[in-house]
Amino acid sequence: MPDRAALWFAALITLCAGCLPSSCQRIASRAVSSSDSLSRQIAAQVLPDTLEVEGALRGSDAADLAYPRTVLFTASDGIVVSDAERNSLFYFDAHGFFVREVDWEGASVPYLAELRGDTAIVFSPGSRRIDYIVNDGPVHAQPTPDDLEAAALQYVTTARAGTFLKVAGKDIVPFLAQLGADGTITQRVPLKGSAWRHAGPLRVSGDSLLSFSGFFPVVDVHMLPLRNAADSVVLKGFDSPMLARTYAFTQGEGRGAPLLMSAAALAGPYLFALNLRPGWLRIDVYGHAGLLQNVLIEPDPGYNRNYYPVDIAVQQHASGAYRIAVAIVEPEPVVRLYRWRPH
């Protein structure tokens, strides 16, 4: 029987990497939807800010990062990175120095759901479990539903209100669920639309659960406790060279929607989104009601069709500056650190 972790990882790569900016079939038409056209007009009025470079994390002398899947800042300004190939966590201190690598039995394509004090809450979809990691290993494990297809895309986040799971994939009706301590689903909310519409991470903001789509510039906001209805917030000002392909896909053309946003993070009053494009880093910063406020780019951006950032973490400092970590898998596995000071 194929390894469940390998199946899930293959599904993720097939769904997402199969139509990255550099790999989608070219669409001759440049037509976009009316809402995308308006967003482009908004984006054209925002002058980009250049990020300050702080450094890069590549691992340790004993082991390099292989596939830095998720990244989070600790309360003490350190950084934790989950590696989906090494099935481990890499810990770095506030200065970017390597502290330790932690692996454990059952880790399978580990996905950092949350950091709570000195506890890393890690979802392993291949092993169908959520591990609570302290120091060098798990102190508690919470199962997740065991009746889901191995190839389903699954996203987990935790909050005071409980543990939440989103499932999407081929031949699956997408849904959100709240999990009990034994891993059973205590509440289930079906999501309208296909897997493309809902493939993306979950985040908690106050009493709201935010459900992102990597393929459409929309955020679904679910009030907690979970309800069937959700408010959809369009990211006004989102611009991308792939919007024509998105529009073509909605009209029944092309093999699939292009991946527009690989990840997003919340910090201060802002939503930070990784706006993918073949070549360089671009981070869109959205404010109230999903309106674009800033565009952040790296210094001296250059074209590289294989550039692929997969996750972002943002930390606000008392000074008002923001520290940003971006996990990148191509052209090399690395976590790059930046700083942004709003004007």
pLDDT at position 150 is: 65
HEC string of the chain?
CCCHHHHHHHHHHHHHHHHCCCCCCCCCCCCCCHHHHHHHHHHCCCCCEECEEEEEECECCCCECCCEEEEEECCCCCEEEEECCCCEEEEECCCCCEEEEEECCCCCCCEEEEEECCEEEEEECCCCEEEEEECCEEEEEEECCCCCCCCCEEEEEEECCEEEEEEECCCCCCEEEEECCCCCEEEEEECCCCHHHHCCCEEEECCEEEEECCCCCEEEEEECCCCCCCEEEECECCCCCCHHHHHHHHCCCCCCCCCCEEEEEEECCEEEEEECCCCCCEEEEECHHHEEEEEEECCCCCCCCCCEEEEEEEEECCCCCEEEEEEEEECCCEEEEEEECCC
What is the pTM (predicted TM-score) of this model?
0.91
pLDDT score for 28: 56
Query: Which pLDDT score is estimated for 169?
Result: 83
What pLDDT is attached to residue 5?
A: 46
For residue 89, give the nearest of 139, 26, 135, 49 by alpha carbon: 135
Identify residue 74 by its one-letter amino acid code.
T
Q: Quick one: pLDDT at residue 18?
A: 40
In the chain, which residues have pLDDT < 50?
Answer: 1-11, 13-18
Which residues does 143 contact at the CB level (< 8 Å), separation at least 6?
Answer: 128, 129, 130, 182, 183
Domains and CATH numbers, the chain: 4-340 (2.120.10.30)
- Give the tens place of pLDDT for each residue, 139-186: 999 999 988 876 688 999 998 888 999 999 878 889 999 999 899 999
Q: What is the pLDDT of residues 53-77, one digit of tens each?
A: 999 999 998 899 999 999 999 999 9
Q: What is the pLDDT of residue 10?
A: 45
Q: With contact defined as beta carbons under 8 Å apart, do 87 and 103 qualify?
A: yes
pLDDT tens sequence across 299-326: 988 778 889 999 999 999 989 999 999 9
